[in-house]
Structure 1
């Protein structure tokens, strides 16, 4: 690692980190003006930039470290549906047309979110591809009974997690920025950086709105109501410690409760950051299990062993809706690390208190055929 930049890895066994991800993290640490870099337990190699990491600079902003899906994150909802009334086959039948454009009052929704009308898009209210999803869940275990009780939520309700971002908006912002300035860092005091931050903040707000609309569409489809528990952003740049904190696939440890999902065939965890130790990780946490295999590797390995239909049911007996035959292999549970190990790493570092563990019931990716 670059000795000019403070770097650290959060994990009990550092030998388990992917060497390619470490190389990418090291390359980022060598950027001129970089002050501190942290690799989180879910660290894995990305498209030139390690995912599952946080980067801090006293005076510079790098749009490419945030990436193309600005504002991507997780929302967690408690629905009004009792678990005892959840029927996978019934829910499956009702989840129709949700890849199609949202038919709601788009300009009014944008205005209510403080966004201009020119950000209207057919993508608003849709999940998108890649690792994005909506998942219905139930509480498997309450791990901290006092803290769970204080949240005033119900353990016998179906919960819903929404993972999506700013769709094509973030990609367009990054592409335009790279065309103007490349991957050079922007001095935060310069007009170019301020212009990027304005667009960035709009993309974050758009992504939050997108998750809210997605959640409402899914609840409407199955005839239930719900209340939002949290919404957190994984890809962003924000002011921190008199400088600028970039998160690339990292959950915030300074915004309240956090949900950390496993793969679609594994548990997810509702956790609370421990403020006393947040500085160790640049007030950031793992955002999920983290990939073990690349998308191409996952497809190559698993398509020889399974049929697509085999992956529609997981080891936890949950159901998967994914009619994209390539995506169902790329996003298979085997392609991801063990979420229990990730949580244990965060607990060992003193970064979180686990509140509850959630079991998947049904994961929705897409009904669009390839």
Structure 2
């Protein structure tokens, strides 16, 4: 399952995927190219791997002595948080909520005070705080579909009859500005770990990671205010970051580019917005996968191809409902086609690959109830 793939340098390349999984050749080529960068020790592609801008998404990349901001990308701190909502699933009011929710505009509260409560300094992007953004970001109300490990499920304080909420967003314009500052000076080049530029980047990076976590918390609060409920955060993990960590006995810079951590407890791995999400518990030592997991289903088609193909098969209106009878709020027609469920890999296969590789066990599956994307065409 995690067999080594030859690379033109000392870096090892591993693809954690079965023969039944869709792994595009371009994504493998990008992974092998990254493995040739100076200082690279290990390059791991997870089952959701797909081509990105210069480097694959769905990858964990460990380097020694150098760190590479372009491998983290522009959405530093992007990740997912799961909330337990104080509301019975049977009391969901989909039509009312779908008509009422609007998270696109600036939050009307005191953003700086909210950040202070979260222990985060303002960044100059506070008008975007509490907004979802574009791309594959979302805020989704969910119901429990099935519980596979009742003990772990209960240990998280979860109940089968309650609404859950999954938030996928990041640092909005802050991450973009942080990467741009680096690229303007260094392009796609790496930074020696003991350089002033590396220290400056890491300080800005850490700020963006904290800001992104606070952003998810405010999105959750706005969602719960919109449906007239409260709740508590169960977990929150980051998918795009670089941290210092021991990997295979070496102190490395571990870059996660669209990869969930396997060393921070349970995580949610979502499918498309018309598919189940999986609450999983990482198992095993984790070094073979660079202490990382798939962060979602992964794209099967790029956005251009998805728009073209989906327009031939679906109307925009038909994509606002799913096979789970859930609602999708997305008033950007292009985004609706780009994010159509067939544009993504089957999440069942992605999670099965992780299970068969001995990396996770499934705790529960979660079904969509109401997905918020955008009211007014917000795009990142």
Q: TM-score range by the shorter chain?
A: over 0.9
Q: Pick from 351, 354, 363: which aligns with 2:362? A: 354
8 A contact 1:277–1:350 mirrored in 2 = no
8 A contact 2:21–2:47 mirrored in 1 = no
> What secondary structure is seen at the aligned counterpart in 2 of 1:116?
coil
Q: Which stretch shows the higher mean deviation, 177-186 or 158-167? A: 177-186
> 1:267 matched to which residue of 2?
276
Task: Give 1:77-88 correspondences, 5 Å limit.
Answer: 77-88=83-94
Q: Deviations over 1:75-115 (max 9, x none)?
A: 1001011011012112112213x100011111112223333
Structure 1 residue 101 and structure 2 residue 109: aligned?
A: no
The runs of at least 4 consecutive aligned structure 1 residues that moved more than 4 Å come to none
Q: Deviations over 1:224-266 (max 9, x none)?
A: 0101110100000001111210000000011111000000000
Q: Pick from 58, 67, 89: which aligns with 1:61? A: 67
Q: Pick from 118, 135, 141: which aligns with 1:136? A: 141
> What secondary structure is seen at the aligned counterpart in 2 of 1:107?
helix
Task: Give 1:1-370 correspondences, 5 Å limit.
Answer: 1-13=7-19, 16-96=22-102, 98-241=103-246, 242-274=251-283, 276-368=284-376
Distance in 1 (alpha carbons) for counterparts of 2:230 and 2:137: 22
Q: Deviations over 1:258-310 (max 9, x none)?
A: 00000000000101111x33111000000000000000000000112221001
Q: Which consecutive residues of structure 1, in runs of 5 or more, have no partner in the other structure? A: none
8 A contact 1:110–1:120 mirrored in 2 = no
Compared CA separation, residues 102 and 187, structure 1 to 2 (3 A): same
Tell me the CA shift for residue 59 of structure 1: 1.3
Question: TM-score, normalising length from structure 1?
Answer: 0.97
> What secondary structure is seen at the aligned counterpart in 1 of 2:317?
helix
Q: Deviations over 1:22-48 (max 9, x none)?
A: 011111011111111000000001112
8 A contact 1:106–1:120 mirrored in 2 = no
8 A contact 2:83–2:235 mirrored in 1 = yes
> 2:4 matched to which residue of 1?
none
Q: Which stretch shows the higher mean deviation, 181-190 or 215-224? A: 181-190
Distance in 2 (alpha carbons) for counterparts of 1:165 and 1:288: 15
Tell me the CA shift for residue 319 of structure 1: 1.1
Question: TM-score, normalising length from structure 2?
Answer: 0.94
Distance in 1 (alpha carbons) for counterparts of 2:67 and 2:377: 39
Q: Which consecutive residues of structure 2, in runs of 5 or more, have no partner in the other structure? A: 1-6
